[in-house]
Structure formats: structure tokens, C-alpha cells
Amino acid sequence: MNEVVDIIDSHDEESSKHKLLVTYYFKNRSKRFLKHQHIVQGEPFSWGVKIKNIDSKPSPQAKIIDAGVQDLNDKFFHYMAKDEILVRSLNPSEEISIPIEESTLYLDGMLWAYLELEPTEENATFTTYQIDEKTGVVSKYHDSDDDNNKWMCEIYVQKRMELLQSRTNNYILALTIITVWESVFGLKNTLKLIVNALSSSLFYLSKMITWLGNLL
């Protein structure tokens, strides 16, 4: 009899555990850095998470009750403004995107994004997983029961001055090339070359249009 009870308890415990793959995403809001691959220091951005059910059973509905960004010394620099965010039940292999917040960070370097989930189903727990973007390897976020329903991953914030300096260097390089070209070939000859190239291009383009017109 005790063996049967133990089996039932073990089955109930397994059925109450759910595996979720959580992935961080962001979007820069500043037009000058819209397509930059990292968050930029001192520039607005929005961020959120993608949550995927990687278990063989549906996950229960849950709430995100805490989310934010902190540094490596556990100092918190950004909190979720909402009290909670609903995460609906997910079927196996189903994924949804959850917007978290819009923010601006004035630190640079490596930081941590984190969140905490609260299942609405009694006794349910979430084991969260991360994925390495470079290798595609999926790994468990934690090995301790104290970290159930929690998730964290590293994010990188690009120093703004580094980007501005890089752009300035590109402008200086372009100006140097133009200056060297002008000193070697001369501004007058360069303009003649450009005009002749444009004239030839337009000539051949007009002939091609005429040829196509004759075909029609």
C-alpha cells in the first residue's frame, strides 16, 4: 500500500513540474541606433522575453510578478513598473512573446536581466532553461529548488562614447581618402570623371530602354 502511495506522490510531483525555455529580446528605440546589435548606454530601448513550453504537457497559466535589470553585484537599476504580467497556458512547443518594459540604462558592460514567475495552479513549479545564442545549447538556469520559477540571463550594454568615437573615426577616414584623392588626381579631374561616368550610364540606359520598347 505504501508503495502505491509513493508512486502516486511521485507522479503528482512530476506532473506539477513544468519546463520553460525563456529567451531575452530587446529593440533599440533611438533612430540612430535602431539596428545596432546591442543596447546602447543612455539610449531608450524596449525589452521582453520569449517563453516556450519545452515540456511534454501543457503549462499552467502564470504571472510575472518581478522583472528587471541588475548589475553583477546584485544592485538593481531597473524594475518592472506593472505589478504583474499575465502569461497564458502554453501547449507543448508553443512560444509567446511577453513585452516587459521600456527603459534607458546609463551603465555599460555586462548586466543581468531577471524575472520571477508565479503559477496560478496550486503546487505547480517552473524549471526555467536558457539557450546559448552562439552554440544553440539549451541548459537549465539553476539546480536548486530555491530558484524554481526564476530566470536570469546576461545582457550587454554598449558604451555610447565607443560608438560615437567609431563613427567619428569612419568620418575621418572618409575625409582622409577624399583629401588624398583630391591631392593626387585633382578636384577638377575627379568631377570630370564623375560626370563622364554618369553620362555614359545614362546613355546606355536610354539605349536599353529604347531596345526594350522596340521589343514591345
Domain ranges of the chain: 2-160, 163-215
Please check the confidence at residue 119 and state whether its pLDDT lies above 50: yes
What integer pLDDT is reported at residue 106 of this predicted model?
Answer: 87
Cell matching residue 25:
529580446
Please check the confidence at residue 170 and state whether its pLDDT lies above 70: no
Q: For 55-105, what is each residue's pLDDT tens digit?
A: 999 999 999 999 999 887 766 667 788 889 999 999 999 999 999 999 898
Rounded CA gap, 96 and 87, in Å? 9
Average pLDDT over residues 161-177: 62
What integer pLDDT is reported at residue 82 of this predicted model?
Answer: 85
The DSSP letter of residue 58 is: P
What integer pLDDT is reported at residue 93 of this predicted model?
Answer: 96
What integer pLDDT is reported at residue 166 of this predicted model?
Answer: 57
Q: How many CB atoms lie within 10 A of CB 151?
A: 26
Instruction: Describe the strand order of the beta sheet including 44-53 as a list of residue ranges.
Output: 95-104, 44-53, 17-28, 125-131, 138-140
Rounded CA gap, 131 and 140, in Å? 9
Question: Which residues face 53 on adjacent strands?
Answer: 20
Rounded CA gap, 90 and 61, in Å? 8
Average pLDDT over residues 101-110: 88
What integer pLDDT is reported at residue 10 of this predicted model?
Answer: 45
Superfamily grouping for domain 2-160: Immunoglobulins (2.60.40.10)
pTM, to two decimals: 0.69
Amino acid at 13: E
Rounded CA gap, 40 and 104, in Å? 9
Lowest mean pLDDT among 7-11, 77-81, 147-151: 7-11
17: exposed, middle or buried (Cβ count in 10 Å: 0-12, 13-18, 19+): middle
Q: For 19-65, what is each residue's pLDDT tens digit?
A: 999 999 999 998 888 888 899 999 999 999 999 999 999 999 999 99
Please check the confidence at residue 145 and state whether its pLDDT lies above 50: yes
Question: Which residues face 90 on adjacent strands?
Answer: 59
